Amino acid sequence: MKKSVRLLSLVLVAALFVAALAGCSAPAAKPAATAPATVDTFTYAQGADPRGLDPALVDDGESSKIIVNIYEGLLKYAADSTKVEPSLAESWKISDDGLSYTFKLRKGVKFHDGTDFNAEAVKFNIDRQLPPKVTPDMGYASFVFGSVKDVVVVDPQTVTINLTAKNTAFMANLAMSLAAPIISPKALTDGSNSVMEKPVGTGPYKFVKWAKGENVVLVRNDAYWGEKAKTKNVVFRIIADNSARVLALNNKEVDMIDGIDATVVDKITSGGDKLYQAPGMNVNYMAYNTTTAMFKDTAARKAVSQAINVDELVKSLYQGYSEKATTILPTFVPGYDKSVKQVAYDAAAAKTGLAAAGITKIHMIAYSNPRPYNAATGVALATAIQGYLQKVGVECTIDSFDWTTYKAKVKEGNYDMAFYGWIGDNGDPDNFLNLLADKDPSMNIARWQDPVYIDMIKKALETPNGAARDAEYTAMEKYAAAKAVWLPISHAKTLAGYRPQVSGFNYHVTGNVFCSKVVVTK
């Protein structure tokens, strides 16, 4: 009987405890965190219009940044390096003699116009950049396809590219953003061999419109074969003035800007925006027109170079956001060697040499837009050099032009000295040093054609990657420095400003901006 009473008491206590719990207000569960709301447009501001949107017919960074979001090539670079990876080609084999490259192509890929990507499309694109079809305005054709003999369609998903000679840089060249991307053959046929204003590729974004001097508009390719772009629209807005681009960023009119120099960094950060910076794979240089009577001789070129204090110039003009270039190659590119020496500053020797050469007046041309390798603009650089030459008794005139006009002026060749730069396309030393062997005056603005140097290039291209090949490019650097063809100025850091609400952009070491993973929150 007592046992039963005790059991009943325990049951009653338990019941009362449960009731008490039921009567208490338990803390309300926190709602699951919601993802920040996003906007459907990413706006990127750059300093100049693209020259065009046909990868075979342009050679500038403004065009390239847009092109990489519209087109793809057989190969691509890794997101954080210039390591070659599959793209429109899934796999490949290289013949034992190094002269044939066979690619297996990705199935089911469509161009933006709905036509099929296949081996015939690859052949069509390469053939248009080979003799006899190649045209003078295809500046990168010889860079990428100069060693190609022919292209053979094996079957719809297999293509073989045969070379005339071994080319160690060929695979890296096929991943480049210029010349190598594959364009719709239908679009090229309809456009009379040009898609400069009506680009049609296979990439994550499709072209919508180009209002020159204002913007280029892209929209997501919802039929893309790979991962779809995260943001629906991308607008590349053209704002020529550095300060105006910063103001547009601070005012939330744009999401990201490039072409930044040291004078605007504080404005970006004080306005609540962020600064992106990374080592730049580039070189900023002054070139002598070696075809003129004034600068056909090494001694005259050397005398002018001796008048310029490059170390002082770089420190004052770029204020820590560029480093002095002691070589053409950036320090992390194979073939770089610190033993390479450029013409050293020596004002007294410059006066003597200039007098001996009879140089009292020099005509320079310069670009007025910021460039990724020279955000201070070519005019600012030319003006600084003008000041150094005045000190040694040389009068300089400077004609300046917007970037598109400047490119045409460079090709005309009416100058004694000009300013240019180069952003590495593929991380290979040949991509830099081949410039001084190129026959295209819009690429080789020194117009230098030296048989010894050209033979050095040919030998290096046939040499397998490794220490022996690196040494050959170092030897080229030393040879060009001794001839004083260029005066290397600086290697610029890659700089960009962006709003804190922007994430996922890939500002690649090649200077291209890949937008498919960009997210912009409200």
DSSP 110: B
The domain that holds 261 is classified in CATH as 3.40.190.10
If asked whether residues 292 and 271 sit together in one domain, one would say no
Give me the amino acid identity at 499.
Answer: R
Same domain, 191 and 298: no
Locus of tokens 């001694």: 299
431 in the same domain as 512: no
Q: How far apart are CA 148 and CA 105, in angstroms?
A: 19
Please check whether residues 314 and 435 belong to one and the same domain. Answer: yes
Q: Are residues 316 and 433 in the same domain?
A: yes
The pLDDT tens digits along the chain (522 residues) read 333 333 333 333 334 333 333 344 445 555 556 778 999 999 999 999 999 999 999 999 999 999 999 999 999 999 999 999 999 999 999 999 999 999 999 999 999 999 999 999 999 999 999 999 999 999 999 999 999 999 999 999 999 999 999 999 999 999 999 999 999 999 999 999 999 999 999 999 999 999 999 999 999 999 999 999 999 999 999 999 889 999 999 999 999 999 888 889 999 999 999 999 999 999 999 999 999 999 999 999 999 999 999 999 999 999 999 999 999 999 999 999 999 999 999 999 999 999 999 999 999 999 998 888 998 999 999 999 999 999 999 999 999 999 989 999 999 999 999 999 999 999 999 999 999 999 999 999 999 999 999 999 999 999 999 999 999 999 999 999 999 999 999 999 999 999 999 999 999 999 999 999 999 999
Same domain for 333 and 478, yes or no, is yes
Q: What is the CATH number of the domain that holds 152?
A: 3.90.76.10
Q: Tokens in use for 73?
A: 């090539």
Interhelix angle for 467-483 vs 451-461, to 10°? 160
Q: What letters, b where the CB count within 10 A reaches 16 and e where it falls short, cover 353-385?
A: bbeebebeebbbbbbbbbbbbbbbbbbbbbbbb
From CA 175, how far away is CA 438, in angstroms rounded?
20
Question: Do both 91 and 141 map to the same domain?
Answer: yes
Which range marks the domain in which residue 466 is found? 282-492
Is residue 44 one of the residues assigned to a domain?
Answer: no
Q: What is the CATH number of the domain that holds 316?
A: 3.10.105.10
**Does residue 99 fall inside a structural domain?**
yes
CA-based angle 111:114:120, to the nearest 5?
A: 55
* Residue 238 and residue 174 share a domain: no
Is residue 312 included in any domain, yes or no? Answer: yes
Residue 261 and residue 397 in one domain: no
- Mark whether 475 and 508 lie in a shared domain: no
Token duo for residue 85:
């990876």
Give a yes or no: residue 215 inside a domain: yes
Q: Which residues of 435-470 are buried (b: 16+ CB within 10 A; e: fewer)?
A: bbbbebbbbbbbbbeeeebbebbeebbeeeeeeebb
The angle subtended at Cα 24 by Cα 18 and Cα 30, nearest 5°, is 115
Please indicate, yes or no, whether residues 478 and 345 belong to a single structural domain of this protein.
yes
Count: domains in the chain: 3
d(CA 459, CA 468): 11
Let me know if residue 27 belongs to a domain: no
Whether residues 90 and 165 share a domain: the answer is yes
